[in-house]
């Protein structure tokens, strides 16, 4: 039974079922509010992008809100003040975040550990105060209202259903890119740096360059999430670029499981749902989220998805190397 639960076929089936559910949501608004689901998808992509640094490279960043919120402001500026199309606005936001990530990464990787994390926090606060004082951001009031426009001049994003499928497509594309990065040789080098940086350096890898590239990729994907959120809510606010947002994405990643590819997405869903459905508690919602996080950390040390994978692996029957060869030969003969 455990082997069946852990099989790739069942995983693909669950992914297909989840995709089918997401496709029918806009047509059944009473099931899940589409705007809320779009927000969840944005945060899920943000958490998976952040995990490229934390989970797969071993770099703790306290400044990822600068990429998420900065891209939202740039997207809003291009849409509202310049009047360009949504696709150009999103591309501008992603490029801004990727460039900012490369710049912050080049400065931050000069140190390690908590010192690196503090550098990212300090630089992110500089970005926060820059947007606070910028003439086009609206300061505490935020940038609003931001027009959604027409995608490619054809698809009207003012229609929530059309926008939902655009956000879904972008989120799936972002997840696919994260998966490809993690499973590529580049991802293997990142994990080698995480596990033993001096050894990776001794093998001839340009560790600094790989770290900067990881920063840029993580920041660019975080910017994509921020741009989508800006278009969904027609708003870019200081809360998107505040250090609290950086804390939220760390919480999502740790809760879902940073040693997996899509575990942070589960954490994003949990945190977003808690804050949405417990909103009636007012300020106490933060206390409730904190208590749930403490309980999950004490119970699921590897995160929700990481702990589930660990339990399933423990229940799998041990297979000797000789037994493992037989299915491989049978599969090869069947293909022939």
Q: At what angle do helices 114-133 and 65-76 cross, to 10 degrees?
A: 20
CB neighbour list of residue 153: distance below 8 Å, 6 or more residues apart: 85
The domains located in the chain, with CATH, are: 33-282 (1.10.3470)
Mean pLDDT of 92-99: 94
Q: Whole-number mean pLDDT of the chain? A: 81
Predicted confidence (pLDDT) per residue in 113-155, tens digit: 888 989 999 999 999 999 888 888 877 888 888 888 888 878 8
Lowest mean pLDDT among 75-89, 113-127, 291-305: 291-305
Quote the tokens at residue 169: 């497509």
Separation CA 263–CA 256 (nearest Å): 4
Q: Note whether 192 and 186 are within 8 A (CB).
A: no
Higher-pLDDT residue of 238, 322:
238
Predicted structure pTM score: 0.83
Distance CA 140, CA 110 (A): 34
pLDDT digit string, tens, across residues 160-195: 888 888 999 999 999 999 999 999 999 999 999 988
Q: Is the pLDDT of residue 329 over 70?
A: no
| pLDDT one-digit tens code per residue, 48-65 | 999 999 888 888 889 899
> Do 120 and 104 contact (CB within 8 A), yes or no?
yes
């Amino acid at each position: 039974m455990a082997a069946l639960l852990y099989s790739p076929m069942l995983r693909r089936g669950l992914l297909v079922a989840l995709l089918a559910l997401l496709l029918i949501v806009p047509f059944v608004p009473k099931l899940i509010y589409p705007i809320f689901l779009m927000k969840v998808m944005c945060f899920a992509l943000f958490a998976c992008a952040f995990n490229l640094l934390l989970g797969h490279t071993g770099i703790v960043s306290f400044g990822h809100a600068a990429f998420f919120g900065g891209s939202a402001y740039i997207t809003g500026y291009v849409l509202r003040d310049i009047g360009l199309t949504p696709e150009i606005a999103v591309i501008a936001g992603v490029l801004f975040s990727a460039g900012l990530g490369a710049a912050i990464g080049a400065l931050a990787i000069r140190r390690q550990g908590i010192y690196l994390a503090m550098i990212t926090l300090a630089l992110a606060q500089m970005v926060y105060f820059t947007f606070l004082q910028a003439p086009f951001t609206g300061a505490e009031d935020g940038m609003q209202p931001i027009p959604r426009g027409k995608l490619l001049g054809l698809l009207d994003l003012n229609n929530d259903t059309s926008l939902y499928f655009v956000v879904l497509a972008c989120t799936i594309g972002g997840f696919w890119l994260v998966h490809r990065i993690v499973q590529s040789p580049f991802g293997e080098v990142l994990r080698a740096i995480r596990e033993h940086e001096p050894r990776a350096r001794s093998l001839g890898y340009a560790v600094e360059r790989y770290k900067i590239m990881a920063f840029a990729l993580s920041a660019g994907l975080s910017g994509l999430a921020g741009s989508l959120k800006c278009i969904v809510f027609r708003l870019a606010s200081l809360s998107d670029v505040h250090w609290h947002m950086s804390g939220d994405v760390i919480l999502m990643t740790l809760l879902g499981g940073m040693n997996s590819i899509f575990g942070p997405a589960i954490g994003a869903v949990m945190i977003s749902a808690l804050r949405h459905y417990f909103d009636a508690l007012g300020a106490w919602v933060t206390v409730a989220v904190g208590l749930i996080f403490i309980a999950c950390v004490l119970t699921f040390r590897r995160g929700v998805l990481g702990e589930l994978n660990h339990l399933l692996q423990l229940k799998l029957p041990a297979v000797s190397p000789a037994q493992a060869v037989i299915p491989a030969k049978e599969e090869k003969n069947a293909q022939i």
